Amino acid sequence: MEKRVVFQNRFLPYLLVAPQIAITLVFFFWPASQAVVQSVLREDAFGTTSYFVGLENFQLLFEDEYYANSFKVTALFSTLVAVLGLSISLLLAVTADRLIRGTMVYKTLLIWPYAVAPAVAGALWGFVFLPGPGVFAWLLGQMGVNWNFHLNGNQAMFVIVVAATWKQISYNFLFFLAGLQAIPKSLIEAAAIDGAGPFRRFWTIVFPLLSPTLFFLIVVNVVYAFFETFGVVHSLTRGGPAKSTEILVYKVWYDGFEAQDLGGSAAQSVILMAIVIGLTVVQFRYIERKVHY
């Protein structure tokens, strides 16, 4: 992965990395270290009293059945968002790819939910599902479904999965389409001449060639579901009912912002940071290998 040809200069490289390192130190490492310090303290909300309590915050966290629950919820939510988002967008991309006309138009019309803020996406879907005037809620009511996502945990999960997936489909779609268009048509034609039907061609040729894109998208989607869906959960379900949609990032925010439990929240931040660093290393190693390859 290393460049064979490089420049020689004693000071220039430091100068070049300086701005980013400075900002990273001041606005990332320093606050992150503060979070680590905070995680072994108990303080009142305004920080007028502060006591060192060792690992008490962590201990409380692991005794809290809802913290384990939050991991489970996060795993379920991320899996659903990744699987649904990827399979729907793959279907759309394959469909768009084999059409001769209209691909560009479809692409343009499918791409823009990417630009919608999670909080706004939440507000929009909340409006669709709102018991009462919400169109979808009304439709389900007419069909005899007892729709109430404020009470039914599965329905609440459904709502946030829909909103979160909706936002991510366009991004996945673009990558899949680009990946598909990069596959040489001659390969597929050769297989067709050999008598392979469209499904066989897809599974034996297209899908394997698409797997790097797929892997990349899995990582991106999981990260998205883990960290960037806060706005969706916050504006739609607020983690409820009965914590059935309380994903990890929401819990960090809730304990810190709503409950003013800074120590507990900081302890969760520390655990999250560890997870993030782990994920980064894994992702990075993978991409390293790929570039090598």
Report the alpha-carbon distance of residue 38 to residue 256 in Å, rounded: 11
Closest CA to 32 of 257, 276, 279, 250: 276
Report the alpha-carbon distance of residue 207 to residue 204 in Å, rounded: 7
From residue 235 to residue 254, what is the string marking binding to another protein with x (rule CB under 8 A)? x----xxxx-----x--xx-
**Rule CB under 8 A: which of 20-39 touch another protein?**
20-21, 23-24, 26-32, 34-35, 38
Residue 124 touches another protein, criterion: CB under 8 A: yes
Report the alpha-carbon distance of residue 59 to residue 61 in Å, rounded: 5
From residue 154 to residue 173, what is the string marking binding to another protein with x (rule CB under 8 A)? ------------x--xx---
Residue 183 touches another protein, criterion: CB under 8 A: no
**Rule CB under 8 A: which of 201-230 touch another protein?**
212-213, 216, 223, 227-228, 230
Contact with another protein (CB under 8 A) among 55, 68, 187, 259: 259
Contact 116, 124 (CB under 8 A): yes
Residue 273 touches another protein, criterion: CB under 8 A: yes
Contact 270, 34 (CB under 8 A): no
**Rule CB under 8 A: which of 68-87 touch another protein?**
none
Q: Please count the residues of this chain forming the interface with another protein, following the rule CB under 8 A.
A: 127
Report the alpha-carbon distance of residue 15 to residue 93 in Å, rounded: 44
Contact with another protein (CB under 8 A) among 75, 76, 83, 128: 128
Q: Decide whether 29 or 62 has the Cβ nearer to another protein.
A: 29
Q: Count other Cβ atoms within 10 Å, centred on residue 89.
A: 24
